[in-house]
Every structure is written in structure tokens, then in C-alpha cells.
Structure 1
Amino acid sequence: MTAEARTFAHTLRIYWEDTDAGGVVFYANYLKFFERARTEWLRSLGFAQEALRAETGAIFIVSETRVRYLRPARLDDQLTVTVDVQHAGQASMTVAQVAWRGDERLAEGDIRIGCVDAQSFRPRRIPEPLLKVMDGYMGRGT
């Protein structure tokens, strides 16, 4: 599986609520855009987050972020936000994400995500069906 084949892309539009007083996307909103793209990536793999919680008791939490802002996005821009799993362990993963406007890179981030029990918030193994799909997604499948 090539790098291009394992990169997921989600498209979104910039609305007034996403911008600051200067009409530029507020910096923290990129984290929301990244979250939406990861949610849609999981959904594309067949794992809606609420169903995953209800069926397995597992939820994902962000434990670390690093974001670099390169260019501003503005009202009405259409962005493409990509998801590329860099590392997947038994209970956590690291995801590289980029917000693009056409071929212009606007923001890039590395997000570390842990799997925890929804009740206790203690670390737990990523549910086996998702691990299997992720192994194939990352080109490690059997």
C-alpha cells in the first residue's frame, strides 16, 4: 500500500464562526478541523466513535499535539484536511495531519491519541477489529 493510498482526506468549508476579528481562521480551530478529519477517517474505516464506545467501551483521547501554522485560511475557503497514521501501537497512535487550500499547506500537526476505557479513563488496548483494519491501512496487514 502506498503512502498516498493510506492518506485520508476530508473537505470542509470555512464559516464566520471559524474566524477571528481579522477574518482569519482562529488558530485553535485547526485542532477542531483535525478532529473532524480523524472522526471521518475512522468512519470511513467502518468505526463510528459512538458505536465503538457503546460496543467496546473504548474512546480516544488526545494526549499531545504539535501544530505549526504556515499560512492563514479565510472565510469561504475550502480546505482539505489529511490524516496519515505515522505509528500505531496497542493502545495509542500518532497521526500526522495537514490542512490544505488547494496545493497550499496552511497548517500541519502531529497528534498523539490514546485509547482509554470510557468509564475509568484508564488506558486500554485499541479494540481488535480496529487494530486489524489499521494494520492493513498502514500496510502491515497479513
Structure 2
Amino acid sequence: MTELSGRFAADGGHLYPVRVFYEDTDAGGIVYHANYLRFFERGRSAMLALLGLSHTALLDGQGVSFAVRRAKIDFVAPARLEDTLEVETRIADIGGASFAVAQSARRDGRILARADLTIATINRAGRAARLPPAVREALTTLQQRQTRD
């Protein structure tokens, strides 16, 4: 796996490595709960980049960006300082102006946290906007690959 983009597994899930640094932990060396959102954001952004979708290009060219609309997180077990985690991202649903992802953070194959997130497409004014056709096509293709296997 490359640090910047991760990789797609054979079943279409996107895998992204995350190293737990001191700044990610509390005084006890355990990952602070809100930092899982950062890990999941990195995984989603890397997945989009690997699909050829640039946040900057979408904003500059089409005037849209993404915002988390909903997040449900289950914390199963703690991650600790200097752990190497793997964030998996899967496309759960695609709507007109949003898409949903199921993400998990694992250490040695064991799920430590899992999240279901809805990602909204917004325009420069912060209002809902339709998913651009290139984004919809890339996400649909990936979702089909994930459900086939």
C-alpha cells in the first residue's frame, strides 16, 4: 500500500494505512475518539483520489465539495500509540446529492471502530447539489464491484 492513496482490495473495498502518532492519543496512549473521524476522512479522500476524483478539481471546475451530513460510530476496542491501522471504505448507497459509506478501522484484522457516514455534495453557498456525473459514475462502478464479490 502506498501511504497517500492506499489500494483497492480484490473485493473492491478501499484499504488505507494509518499510523497512530502521539498527537492522535490521549494521556493514556489511547486514540482519542474524535480522531477516528480524521482517519475515516483520510480513507475516503484517498479512495476518491485513487478513483481519479480530486477535491480541488471538483471545487474549481464544478463548484462542489463534500461535507459529512451524518455519522454513526461504534467504538469496539482501543487503538494505541504507534499502532498501524487499516481503514476500509465501502460504498453503501448513492443518492441524488449524497452517498453513504461504511468504514472500519482495523488492527491486525480486528475491527476497532466502524462508522456509517452520509456524505453530502454541496455548492459554494453550502447548499445541497447533485453529484457530478463523473463522481456518480466512479462511485457506481466501485459499488457494483463491491457487491459482485
Q: TM-score range by the shorter chain?
A: over 0.9
Partner of 1:134: 139
Partner of 1:18: 24
Partner of 2:12: 6
1:125 is the counterpart of 2:130: yes
Partner of 1:51: 57
In the alignment, structure 2 segments of 5+ residues that lack a partner are 1-8
1:116 is the counterpart of 2:126: no
Matched residues in 1 for 2:40 and 2:27: separation? 22
1:39 is the counterpart of 2:37: no
Calculate the TM-score normalised by the size of structure 2. Answer: 0.88
Number of corresponding residues: 137
Deviation of 1:14 (Å): 0.3
Partner of 1:95: 101
Q: Which residue type is aligned with residue 112 of structure 2?
A: L
Deviation of 1:5 (Å): 2.3
1:28 is the counterpart of 2:18: no
- Please give the secondary structure, in 1, of the residue aligned with 2:144: coil
In the alignment, structure 1 segments of 5+ residues that lack a partner are none
Calculate the TM-score normalised by the size of structure 1. Answer: 0.92
Displaced runs of 4 or more, over 2 A: 3-6
**C-alpha RMSD of matched pairs (Å):** 1.3
Matched residues in 1 for 2:77 and 2:102: separation? 18
1:76 is the counterpart of 2:82: yes
Matched residues in 2 for 1:73 and 1:123: separation? 35
Matched residues in 2 for 1:121 and 1:111: separation? 18
Deviation of 1:23 (Å): 0.5
Percent identical among aligned pairs is 36
